[in-house]
């Protein structure tokens, strides 16, 4: 079976602010509205593979993906077993996003030593591909695609050479264009997948409620060294990520405004080289499960 078709537009959501029944209803609604994929991250809420298994029965067409699970959370054998199980359970509607996460999540939360992230990801991908799988699963659905959470040059190149593509986070169209060039140059002639996210809040672009929701969402990332480094490469500086974050950074990372503004931002990312844009539907409190946004921006 061929790799699942993500389509040009998807949804990214924690789903942790919803009871499980409401999370299933959210996934069902995304499927009904024609989104190509629903992505869930791995933080300190629900376990992502188990969550997607619960959502599989509520959806018929939607690709279900992780964006991302971190390589410190389980060994490569366990990850491939989980990925193949979900691929089989969904009839091939699963995509695996992997990342090295952040030092505080790997170290303080999980007790690992965060070091050599590029080498660790390379080793992990090799171990994942070499993991032993017994049973009929792969015969039925084939290998799910693997995307790497990449922000800088060498991880982007690794996503092209050792995986099926990249899934960066909080990036501008200019950075997407740069990543598209790096992926294509490193791939040896094929076109690696490039999926990106776009937080979307509806409301007046200058209205305090809409900007407050965007700031609430962006706040946890302002103190994260990984994103600070990425933003610096995108032309931002310390004044931009000093809490509560500059208006310049806020407007670059989040679509704030009406539906037409959101659609323009999605189109800009596609024009820059993204194959798939996953909107993050922001509610008024900065959580990521707004059905209003989900329905308004639907394809």
CATH number at residue 157: 3.20.20.30
Is residue 223 domain-resident? no
Is residue 213 domain-resident? no
Q: Is the pLDDT of residue 228 over 50?
A: yes
pTM of this prediction? 0.94
Q: Is the pLDDT of residue 110 over 80?
A: no
Give pLDDT, residue 207: 86
- Judged by average pLDDT, the poorest of 115-129, 170-184, 240-254 is 115-129
Is residue 2 domain-resident? no
> Residue 106: pLDDT band by 50, 70, 90 thresholds?
low
Range of the structural domain that residue 119 is part of:
9-203+252-296
> Residue 48: pLDDT band by 50, 70, 90 thresholds?
very high
Give pLDDT, residue 166: 98
Sequence-distant contacts of 174-180: CB under 8 A, at least 24 apart: 174/234, 174/235, 174/272, 175/230, 175/233, 175/234, 176/269, 176/272, 176/273, 176/274, 177/272, 177/273, 179/150, 179/273, 180/272, 180/273, 180/274
Structural element, H or E, at residue 95:
strand 94-99
Between 102 and 165, whose confidence is greater?
165
> Residue 62: pLDDT band by 50, 70, 90 thresholds?
very high
**pLDDT, tens only, 183-206:** 999 998 889 999 999 999 999 888
Token representation of residue 278: 């996953």
Strand, coil or helix: 196: strand
Token representation of residue 51: 């969550």
Give pLDDT, residue 141: 79
Cite the DSSP H helix spans in the chain. 20-33, 48-56, 76-89, 103, 117-130, 137-141, 153-161, 173-186, 208-222, 225-233, 238-241, 247-253, 259-271, 291-296
Taking residues 88-106, report their average pLDDT. Answer: 84
The number of distinct structural domains making up the chain is: 1
Strand, coil or helix: 83: helix
> Residue 108: pLDDT band by 50, 70, 90 thresholds?
low
Distance CA 36, CA 292 (A): 18
- Selection from 97-106, 128-137, 207-216 with the highest mean pLDDT: 207-216
Is residue 218 domain-resident? no
Is residue 242 domain-resident? no
Cβ-based neighbours of 102, under 8 Å, separated by 6 or more: 114, 224, 225, 226
């Amino acid at each position: 079976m061929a790799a699942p078709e993500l389509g040009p537009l998807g949804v990214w959501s924690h789903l942790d602010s919803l009871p499980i029944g409401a999370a299933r209803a959210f996934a069902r609604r995304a499927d009904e509205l024609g989104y190509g994929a629903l992505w869930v991250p791995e933080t300190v809420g629900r376990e992502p593979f188990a969550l997607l298994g619960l959502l599989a029965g509520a959806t018929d067409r939607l690709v279900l993906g992780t964006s991302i699970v971190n390589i410190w959370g389980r060994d490569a054998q366990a990850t491939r077993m989980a990925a193949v199980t979900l691929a089989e359970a969904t009839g091939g509607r699963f995509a695996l996003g992997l990342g090295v996460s952040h030092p505080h999540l790997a170290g303080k939360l999980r007790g690992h030593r965060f070091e050599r992230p590029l080498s660790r990801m390379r080793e992990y991908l090799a171990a994942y591909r070499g993991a032993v799988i017994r049973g009929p699963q792969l015969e039925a659905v084939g290998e799910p695609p693997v995307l790497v959470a990449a922000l800088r040059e060498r991880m982007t190149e690794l996503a092209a050479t050792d995986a099926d593509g990249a899934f960066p986070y909080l990036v501008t169209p200019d950075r997407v264009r740069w990543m598209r060039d790096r992926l294509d140059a490193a791939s040896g002639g094929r076109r690696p997948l490039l999926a990106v996210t776009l937080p979307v809040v509806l409301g007046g672009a200058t209205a305090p409620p809409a900007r407050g929701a965007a700031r609430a969402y962006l706040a946890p990332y302002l103190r994260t060294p990984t994103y600070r480094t990425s933003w610096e490469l995108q032309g931002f500086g310390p004044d931009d990520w000093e809490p509560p974050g500059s208006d310049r950074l806020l407007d670059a990372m989040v679509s704030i405004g009406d539906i037409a503004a959101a659609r323009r931002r999605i189109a800009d990312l596609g024009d820059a080289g993204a194959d798939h844009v996953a909107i993050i539907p922001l509610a008024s409190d900065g959580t990521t499960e707004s059905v209003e946004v989900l329905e308004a921006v639907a394809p």
